[in-house]
Every structure is written in structure tokens, then in C-alpha cells.
Amino acid sequence: MNKNTKILIPEISGDWTERLRSGGTNIWNHALHGKPHRNGLPEVRLDPPETGLYAELIDGAWYWVSGCAKCNESGERWSYSVCDKHNVCRLCSTHRSKLTGTPWGHPDGFTCKPCQDAVDAIAKAEALARFAESEYDQHDFCSMDECKCPHCATGIHIEAEDYRDQNMKCDTCGGLFGLRIEYEPSFTTTVIGERVTA
């Protein structure tokens, strides 16, 4: 795909300045909950003529332009519109159409399941080797400032809304463990009646 691609979209007036994207589909005058857009114009949905293009308003007219960061050599990560040529695994270059499993998202595109499995196996072996060298014991996993897997000592981020006792599986080594949330006591006091001043 040429990074200078610019194809006029005659179906869309330049007066229509609001556009949403849903996957590859571009939507103008998006109707919410079955109600027409506030400008009264009909909703229009168009797919680009080629994968990797998206609609952009340029000098008062809508054009299909390249959204592929690799074609555009923009250096951007997490490209929203990837062309067919660059829609490949970042490690083995297998095209997305040839995948049999769900790929893993990555800032540089995606990683196919076999490649991700290989990456995960290396990370697991490295974590277990570090654990063995460090001679941890069970007391190293008590009253910690962060959650760590007791099998491989990998730090695990827990969102505040997930603060509860639970059984977990480590994403690095696959080890199962129980997590118990421990709280430090804190105190709040309030005056009852009138404040004592003398």
C-alpha cells in the first residue's frame, strides 16, 4: 500500500464532519439506540476498498487514506488499520488468514499462538531458573508489598477491584496458588456531641 494513497469518497459530503470507526467500517451520522443522528441525516456505513485504509476529512472532502503504520513509516505502535501485506505475526510472518488459534495483541502487530507459546516457555524457564538460584522459602511470600507467585517469584499486578482472597494461576509459570489479602488496621475518629475545648 502506498503511504500517499488518497481516494475520494464521493458518497460522503464534506459537510459530514463526524465519523466513527468500528473495525474496518467507517460510520457517518451514527444513530444511537435506533434514533437518527442529531443532524437528521441518514447513517452511512462504508468499508474501505482495500484493507488498511480508513476515511479522513481533508480540505473539506472525505478520502480513503492509508492507516498502516508500517506502510506510512510513521513509527507508531498499535496501528488501527493494518494493510494486508503487514497483517502478519511479528515473529514468524505468518499471515493472519492462516492462523488456527487466536493471536496475542502486541504494540508491533500481533503474535501468533505458536510463537507466543515459545515466548512464554522461555519466560517460564528463565523465571524458574532465577527462583532456584535465589533460594526462596515460604516465608519470602508472607506480608509482601506486592503479589508474587510462590512458584517463580514473578510479580503479579492486582487491580484494586480484585482485592479479595482468591485462587490464582501465574501467567508466567502456570503454577496455582492461593492469594490472601492482608490489611493493616487504620483508625478514624469523629467528635460525638460538642467538641471539648476546656
9-47 per-residue burial string, b: 16 or more CB within 10 A, e: under 16: beebeeebeebeeeebebbbbeeeeeeebeeeeeebebe
Closest CA to 168 of 183, 188, 147: 147
pLDDT at 1: 66
Q: What is the pLDDT of residue 103?
A: 94
pLDDT of residue 133: 93
Report the SS3 class of residue 130: helix
Query: Which pLDDT value is given to residue 160?
Result: 87
Q: How many CB atoms lie within 10 A of CB 65?
A: 19
What pLDDT, on the 0 to 100 scale, is given for residue 16? 78
What does the pLDDT read at residue 95?
Answer: 96
Low-confidence ranges of the chain (pLDDT < 70): 1
